[in-house]
Amino acid sequence: MPLVFARVGQKCIIRKFSCSCEIRMRMVNMGLFPGCPIEILNSMNGTLLLKVGSARVMLEKCLAHQIHVS
């Protein structure tokens, strides 16, 4: 399912990206890659706050539509 449909507090594993190579590389540079565990901390004003390892990352929901998780 796309990440944007995950609920606050839910823990997920990134499965794949459905975006351009350039955007995929930006996400990898932020620590987001297939197999990476993440947790949705908050959803507000068109953005998602994620916990990735010990870091926190904010993503626009338009990007979250392009990340598939399980």
In this prediction the pTM is 0.91
Q: Label residue 27 by pLDDT band (50, 70, 90).
A: very high
Separation CA 18–CA 13 (nearest Å):
15
Give the pLDDT score at 28: 94
- Range 3-69 classified under CATH 3.40.50.2300: no
Distance CA 52, CA 45 (A): 20
Q: How far is the first Cα of the chain from the last one, in angstroms, to the nearest whole number? A: 6
